[in-house]
Structure 1
Amino acid sequence: MLQTALLPCAALLMMAGIALGFQAPTSAMPMLCVSAALAGLLLLGRWRTRTAGCLLLTFLLGAALGIRTANPTLPPEGDAQVTGVVAGEVDFRAEKGQVRVILRDVTLNGERIASGAYWTFYLKADENIPDFLTPGARISMTAEVYHPQGQRNPHGYDFRQALRQKNILIGLYGAAKLQALPDGLSLYGLAARFNHRMAQTLRDVCGEKAGQLASAVLLGMRDEVPDEEQEQFRRLGIAHILSVSGFHVGVLVALLALLIMPVKHRRLRMALTLPMLLAYAFLTGGNAPAVRAVLLWALVCWGRIRHKRVLMPHVLCASAMIQLMFAPAQLFSASFQMTYGVMAAICGITAQTAPNAQKKRGWKGKILSLLSVSAAAQFGVLLPELYWFGRVPLLGIAVNVLLVAGMNVLLLLDWVTLLLTPIPWLAALPGAATRAASEGFLHLVNALGRFAPTLWTRQPDAWVVLGWLLVFAALLPFGKSRNRWQNRKKRLPMLAAGAVLMATILLPAPFSGTEYMQLDMGDADAAVLRQEKHVLVVDAGEYGGDLASYLRAEHLPVDLLVLTHLHSDHAGGVRELLDEGIPIRRCVMPSGALAADFDEEVLPLLARMEENGTVIETVCRGDILQWAEGKLTVLFPPEGFSASNANDGSMALLVEAEGVKLLLTGDLSARYGQYAAVSADVVKAAHHGSKNGTTQAFLDESAPTAVLVSTKRENAADYLRGITDADVYSTLESGAIIIRMADGHFTIEQFEEMQ
């Protein structure tokens, strides 16, 4: 029993070590070396002592990997001469004119770096993407090297971590002197060109939509599927089938088995399958989900070649450990967690339900077996789904059997079509069948997803994770009692306790007191004021992803949304709130806001809010908004005020809560600042700290002890420090700025320091 559990324990300890290592400083490495030396002494003891020593060394190895990955040696920031190979599709965002590219085999000023680079640049209105900028191309340019930022807001997007998961440590900005270089020998370039050519061929043979879906499930090019369709997959709880997984590669293994069936020797068949799988992993461009799936099947093939008994839990653990040794940051990726969550649940839970399914003969047994696998898969993916997407898909188990069966058919057709593409006339028939099947499948997914009920939840905490573990443990096959009722008596209390703990995720996160948080949105504005269960949002930024993530993770509906004016850098983020399904009960904006030079993209957002039942009102100077136990007084604009410049008519608010006064000025211009200059403890600087927003006279009149500025410009905080003696807090320096208020006093915390 101990030997059987050794590898799972080692895998869990390695994961725990990596998680701990990501939080530890580099200075902890010497202590790890000393601990490893002491653990090595345990290897000299008896069997149990050696086992303990091996487990301890595995944990320390994970911690060392975590520290090294979290604290890499980076090249200096600044301009550099860059060469590299385009290692994926060129992502062009037409609305902003932005181009995003992943580069591999990168050199900076002639020196090779170990990681890839994330490269962005902007095109002018009359410019097009250069013809030579295609997957696999080798290019040269002058660009600015920068170090990607980590998480800047609570529950916000961690850009640095997302890049680490792709083995990318630096960012590049700009494309001066961009030119093509002669193609050299690059495995990344070869894989990118092959991937691009295969994706284009699939679109030509199968049609645009079918080709996009086939590229995602065969080549790991998930971004080919439009965001709207990916959202429907998430609503149904089947987003994992869009990533290459063991399920997808299993279909390839079955096809390879048919092709090499004439080979009679079993070990030789496995030996032929193994290099084909490795070639497939390479041709997907080293896509992490594809590598993970191929690694799973490669270990199965290797075990069969050696005539070893293959235990799937051991295969899972071994593949996880191998991948984490080379890419520790994968531990924190959604695809890693979903893959191993699903596989672990299927291996564990179906081992308990399989005997019951086998007792049923014929179609009943097969249906019961399919339902048990579907239920296990949904249970395994539940925690990652809750963490990353914040919702429980209620139709998941019901539709999973149907849609996974449909995906099986699609995968077979996709593989046959792809294998026959070198012979166009022969690929036409399966291509037409693939197009029809894919369009029908996507139509079904869109129809079900549009009406699929979901439960909106907060982010799982330790109690929810404990509940999941209790339910999982109750469903595992254990115990030797032959008495069915006796066995159930042991499991039912665990199931009940686990279900109760998991149900707490439907409640808002525990919170008490009063807190104001100025989010880091760059040169945009968004803030959240919380008091017990009441939530006030002041502006939503240009992109409201981090704001929506925070509200979703804490399970917070918005009682009142204040839009200081209708420029997109203050109101554009409403789109993400609506897309995430976050309820907005009431919205206020200044009178005359629609008469100013508002951004046209905001109008559809106001219409969507009204369709969702949001009450939208306008306010003016002197209006008082009661909110929880606090009070909001509108200081500007006065009734009937109109201005062509929306900043001139930006709303200014005085928030009074817990005996503390906060003066929020939006983008109010300096010419009208005098009308909002009242005494306050904290002032949020107008117009991102610019000189035409906040003046010395305004700060002298309001006499704050602290000034907040939401900006991405270094000189904004310097300017404010030059005209006031108050403490100045900049989101550029601090990340999110959190003010906690109680009994007439307040404290300020900076998210960057908290991290």
Structure 2
Amino acid sequence: MKGYWHFTALAVVISIITLFFNNYWFMVGFILWLYYLYYSERLRKAPLITSLASLLFFLLYIPAIGFDHANEDTLPSLGPLTGMIVSSLDSKEQKIDFIFQEELSQQKILVIHFPKKEEKQLPLKNNADIKYGARCIINGKIEKPDQNRNPGQFNYHKYLLTKGITHQLILYSLDDIHCEGSTFLNRFYNMRSDLLTYVAANVSEETSAWMNALVLGDDSQIGEDTIELFRRWNLSHLLAISGLHVGLIVALIYFLLIKLKLLTKEKAQWIMILFLPVYALIAGGEPSVWRASSMVLLFIFLSKIKFLLSVTDILSIVFISLIIIDANIVYHIGFQLSFSVTFGLLLSKKWISSSSSSLVQVLQISFVSQMMILPLQFAYFWAFQPLSILLNLLIVPYFSIIVIPLLFILLLLLFLPIPLFLINVFDMLFVSIHYHVLTFVATMDAYFYYPWIIGVFPIIFTVVYYSLLFIFMKRLEENKLKEAFKYGVVITIAIIYVAARPYLSPIGTVTMLDIGQGDAFVIELPYRRGVIFVDAGASFAFDDMEPSEKVYKQVIKPFLYSKGISKIDAIFLSHEDIDHVGSLSFMVEDIEVEQIILSNYYDFSEDDAKKWNRKNVNIQNVMQNEEIIVGGQSFYVVAPFRDNDSPNENSLVLFTLLGGKSWLFTGDIGKGTENEILDVYPNLTVDVLKVAHHGSNTSTDLGFIKQMNPDFALISVGVNNSYGHPTREVLETLEALNVKILRTDQDGAVLYRFKEDQGTFYKYLP
């Protein structure tokens, strides 16, 4: 098998892809390719049989993630449960959590505890018995984690399933858990916790945050703004310990031990064999750390027994071994990114090494890395920043040459008997330099952030992309630059086509997003002639009544990005209530908004006007009976008729024709305004009615519904909301007239997909 392990690894990859997409054509194509290589005498029998066996084995071994797990309902809704803690304790001021494996069913449960005020002072002291490997009895509320209720929204349920976790348990009090014992591994987790605490106590807050992140694998101290900034510029790999970090640490230790003649090479290798597994555990045990550490360990071990394998073989063996140890690791984004980049760099090593310039090599490495993860970038984030390749060229060497070595040396100095001022000098030096670098990245973000927002990258284009990329890299390696350029052009055209698909599609949609107790409707016109919002609500806290950005970040923005939407042509605002307009300010700040349309009676503040003007948003006031055209789509203003001295009664009521159906968006109008609409428009009927005021009994009068005669009623309402919406009275009115009711609390997002004059409603939740 020497020299052929990559075929076995590729067989495992095909098994993973087959499971991911539930498409067995990948297997068929791979098997045919293997037999072609075998009959053309380019592949021997041993790797052929091993590859086919691995294909079948891992197809059965790797769990398929979905919501049809029969054993998910075998647990009771309440404890007590008996079992073992199978993870380290993640203890923070706001939350404590760990993974617990129930004894009878062997199911993994995420246990979560939100400390009370008296517990927040010393949360770790209160949990001295909660250790890795401890046997425990737990009482608490057992529940299934929430799944996503909107397209593009993060699916927390599926995320936990990828870790083998089927349920979560809310631990209301620490008195409800009783544990005893632990395992040997708990010592390493305690060591990690002690190190994190020790670092935080002995260096500045800024240095502590970055040292704990880059050396010990805990980025919880780094601000959310910085993490988001690095994500936007594809620099997130620098915040997680990876092969780069492990390689630098190994090189540094070798330098200290061998070049300074502290140990012989033989003894230094044994030190590394002992050190790397311990460091992988202390650094958080992320897949990228284990991948790099395992490769170094395997290299050292094989060199000791005089058995040499290629780097590709070693990478393949490590890849297979990690999956055998933990089958769920294939769903970890760090695992996918780490091996994709490493594999790409291995394939490109001849091209990279052909250059004598270190600067050019760094640019080549950055280019290959970004190109290898491009489909994954779109799959997880739907966006890519092309200039990130150049920024990586500047920032990666800075982290490689300065930050990581400096922080690792500083960590070692903390345990040596040296003067405190020397540590302070290192500390201040790092803080000063790092501040200017972060400021530079933030400045780039402010002036040069122009991402490609493409949305979903279809699997067929992923296959085409990687096929073209490998040919492109092969031509570069062979120095056939003209041919490489042609394939590069084809790759670019393929990406442009994926990005342009919405502009070529005759399909339009209307989506009632599930934002809880609030309204947010998104209209996508065919051929992307326009993207239009009718309201964009937000949640809020009752203590200060300020809108939260939660709805925008977790629902609206992911939905837009998943659709490849980077610009909103118009936002209709019905009235001033936060549950209808609370996300507007976040949208205007973060995405291009062409115009905001509101009634003459909408009362917006001077600060709002300044913000909208600063972002070059056109403000259009409209009146009853006026027609507004956006992207060729007409909207007619039905109400308000006058200033009613009430935001709800002043709601902007819109009528439009979409997908062969007539629609009426009613905001939060009451029965009084409904009756006025009947008087002014006695012949008005609609096919789809947005039920006013979330189904409150202040609206949806029987006479109004009789005249409108809708086939469908859309109710945007929160699950188990405190208002009791929609009321039984409203539901009975609609049901009595045989109106089909679609509501976000039961159906999640509701989508109407149409082509010309034909369309169909779909519920996001099954």
Find the aligned partners of 2:600 and 2:164 in 1 and give their Cα distance.
50
Q: Percent identity?
A: 17
Q: Given residue 252 of structure 1, which amino acid in structure 2 is its aligned partner?
A: I
For 2:750, the equivalent position in structure 1 comes to 737
Find the aligned partners of 1:189 and 1:604 in 2 and give their Cα distance.
54
Q: Is residue 529–residue 535 contact of structure 1 (8 Å, CA) maintained in 2?
A: yes
Q: Over residues 370-410 of structure 1, what are the superposed CA-to-partner deviations in whole Å (9 max), with x where a residue is unaligned?
A: 33323333333433334434444344343334322221222
Q: Is residue 551–residue 582 contact of structure 1 (8 Å, CA) maintained in 2?
A: no
Q: Given residue 102 of structure 1, which amino acid in structure 2 is its aligned partner?
A: D
Give 1:214 deviation, angstroms. 1.6
For 1:385, the equivalent position in structure 2 comes to 377
Find the aligned partners of 1:603 and 1:574 in 2 and give their Cα distance.
15
Q: Give 3-state SS (helix, strand or coil) of 2:215's partner.
A: helix
Alignment of 1:17 with 2:15, yes or no, is yes
Alignment of 1:511 with 2:512, yes or no, is no
Q: Over residues 539-598 of structure 1, what are the superposed CA-to-partner deviations in whole Å (9 max), with x where a residue is unaligned?
A: 33431233222322333211111233344443333465456x431111124444437xxx
Q: Give 3-state SS (helix, strand or coil) of 2:172's partner.
A: strand
Give 1:217 deviation, angstroms. 1.3
Residues 642 and 399 of structure 1: CA distance in aligned 2, closer, same or farther (over 3 Å): same
Find the aligned partners of 1:607 and 1:81 in 2 and give their Cα distance.
57
Find the aligned partners of 2:223 and 2:347 in 1 and give their Cα distance.
34
For 2:150, the equivalent position in structure 1 comes to 153
Alignment of 1:62 with 2:58, yes or no, is yes
Alignment of 1:686 with 2:692, yes or no, is yes
For 1:445, the equivalent position in structure 2 comes to 438
Q: 1:705 aligns with which of 708, 711, 721?
A: 711
Q: Is residue 206–residue 435 contact of structure 1 (8 Å, CA) maintained in 2?
A: no
Q: Is residue 627–residue 636 contact of structure 2 (8 Å, CA) maintained in 1?
A: yes
Q: Is residue 661–residue 682 contact of structure 1 (8 Å, CA) maintained in 2?
A: yes
Q: Is residue 740–residue 747 contact of structure 1 (8 Å, CA) maintained in 2?
A: yes
Alignment of 1:399 with 2:400, yes or no, is no
Q: Is residue 82–residue 106 contact of structure 1 (8 Å, CA) maintained in 2?
A: no
Residues 656 and 173 of structure 1: CA distance in aligned 2, closer, same or farther (over 3 Å): farther
Q: Is residue 521–residue 533 contact of structure 2 (8 Å, CA) maintained in 1?
A: yes
Deviates more, 1:62-71 or 1:669-678: 669-678
Q: Given residue 661 of structure 1, which amino acid in structure 2 is its aligned partner?
A: S
Alignment of 1:367 with 2:356, yes or no, is no
For 2:468, the equivalent position in structure 1 comes to 470
Give 1:611 deviation, angstroms. 2.1
Q: Is residue 575–residue 652 contact of structure 2 (8 Å, CA) maintained in 1?
A: yes
Q: Given residue 540 of structure 1, which amino acid in structure 2 is its aligned partner?
A: A
Find the aligned partners of 1:173 and 1:258 in 2 and give their Cα distance.
49
Q: Give 3-state SS (helix, strand or coil) of 2:765's partner.
A: helix
For 1:539, the equivalent position in structure 2 comes to 535
Q: Give 3-state SS (helix, strand or coil) of 2:592's partner.
A: coil
Deviates more, 1:399-408 or 1:265-274: 265-274
For 2:573, the equivalent position in structure 1 comes to 563
Q: Give 3-state SS (helix, strand or coil) of 2:78's partner.
A: strand
Q: Is residue 2–residue 313 contact of structure 2 (8 Å, CA) maintained in 1?
A: no
Deviates more, 1:529-538 or 1:54-63: 54-63
Q: Is residue 139–residue 177 contact of structure 2 (8 Å, CA) maintained in 1?
A: no
Give 1:604 deviation, angstroms. 7.0
Q: 2:582 aligns with which of 563, 572, 593?
A: 572
For 2:603, the equivalent position in structure 1 comes to 594
Residues 135-154 of structure 1: matches in 2 within 5 Å?
A: 137-138=128-129, 142-154=139-151
Q: Give 3-state SS (helix, strand or coil) of 2:229's partner.
A: helix
Alignment of 1:419 with 2:412, yes or no, is yes
Residues 190 and 584 of structure 1: CA distance in aligned 2, closer, same or farther (over 3 Å): farther
Find the aligned partners of 1:694 and 1:211 in 2 and give their Cα distance.
58
Find the aligned partners of 2:241 and 2:512 in 1 and give their Cα distance.
39
Find the aligned partners of 1:165 and 1:745 in 2 and give their Cα distance.
39
Q: Over residues 592-614 of structure 1, what are the superposed CA-to-partner deviations in whole Å (9 max), with x where a residue is unaligned?
A: 4437xxxxxx9977754432211
Q: Given residue 738 of structure 1, which amino acid in structure 2 is its aligned partner?
A: L
Residues 88 and 585 of structure 1: CA distance in aligned 2, closer, same or farther (over 3 Å): farther
**What stretches of structure 2 of length at least 5 have no aligned partner?**
131-136, 539-550, 679-683
Q: Given residue 62 of structure 1, which amino acid in structure 2 is its aligned partner?
A: F
Give 1:76 deviation, angstroms. 3.4
Q: Is residue 153–residue 736 contact of structure 1 (8 Å, CA) maintained in 2?
A: yes
Find the aligned partners of 2:158 and 2:253 in 1 and give their Cα distance.
37
Give 1:117 deviation, angstroms. 0.5
Q: Is residue 167–residue 327 contact of structure 1 (8 Å, CA) maintained in 2?
A: no
Q: 2:560 aligns with which of 536, 551, 556?
A: 551
Q: Over residues 256-279 of structure 1, what are the superposed CA-to-partner deviations in whole Å (9 max), with x where a residue is unaligned?
A: 324543586655533331232111
For 2:547, the equivalent position in structure 1 comes to none
Give 1:242 deviation, angstroms. 0.8
Q: Give 3-state SS (helix, strand or coil) of 1:79's partner.
A: coil
Residues 366 and 745 of structure 1: CA distance in aligned 2, closer, same or farther (over 3 Å): closer
Residues 630 and 429 of structure 1: CA distance in aligned 2, closer, same or farther (over 3 Å): same
Give 1:328 deviation, angstroms. 4.2
Q: Is residue 506–residue 756 contact of structure 2 (8 Å, CA) maintained in 1?
A: no
Give 1:530 deviation, angstroms. 1.2
Q: 1:638 aligns with which of 613, 637, 641?
A: 641
Q: Is residue 102–residue 116 contact of structure 1 (8 Å, CA) maintained in 2?
A: no
Q: Give 3-state SS (helix, strand or coil) of 2:752's partner.
A: strand
Residues 22 and 493 of structure 1: CA distance in aligned 2, closer, same or farther (over 3 Å): closer
Give 1:244 deviation, angstroms. 0.9
Q: Is residue 206–residue 432 contact of structure 1 (8 Å, CA) maintained in 2?
A: no
Q: Given residue 133 of structure 1, which amino acid in structure 2 is its aligned partner?
A: P
For 1:582, the equivalent position in structure 2 comes to 591
Give 1:535 deviation, angstroms. 0.9
For 1:248, the equivalent position in structure 2 comes to 245
Q: Over residues 40-87 of structure 1, what are the superposed CA-to-partner deviations in whole Å (9 max), with x where a residue is unaligned?
A: xxx9xx984553343233223333244455455324363334688694
Q: Give 3-state SS (helix, strand or coil) of 1:78's partner.
A: coil
Find the aligned partners of 1:342 and 1:179 in 2 and give their Cα distance.
45
Residues 236 and 69 of structure 1: CA distance in aligned 2, closer, same or farther (over 3 Å): closer
Q: Which runs of 4+ in 1 moved over 6 A?
A: 82-86, 602-606
Find the aligned partners of 1:514 and 1:288 in 2 and give their Cα distance.
41
Question: For this pair of structures, how many residues does the alignment match?
Answer: 704
Find the aligned partners of 1:80 and 1:307 in 2 and give their Cα distance.
55
CA RMSD of aligned residues (A): 3.9
Find the aligned partners of 1:296 and 1:605 in 2 and give their Cα distance.
56
For 2:664, the equivalent position in structure 1 comes to 663
Find the aligned partners of 1:562 and 1:205 in 2 and give their Cα distance.
54
TM-score normalised by L of structure 2: 0.81
Q: Is residue 406–residue 441 contact of structure 1 (8 Å, CA) maintained in 2?
A: no
Residues 186 and 428 of structure 1: CA distance in aligned 2, closer, same or farther (over 3 Å): farther
Give 1:730 deviation, angstroms. 2.9
For 1:96, the equivalent position in structure 2 comes to none
Q: Given residue 197 of structure 2, which amino acid in structure 1 is its aligned partner?
A: Q
Residues 438 and 346 of structure 1: CA distance in aligned 2, closer, same or farther (over 3 Å): farther
TM-score normalised by L of structure 1: 0.82
Q: Given residue 506 of structure 2, which amino acid in structure 1 is its aligned partner?
A: S
Q: Give 3-state SS (helix, strand or coil) of 2:344's partner.
A: helix
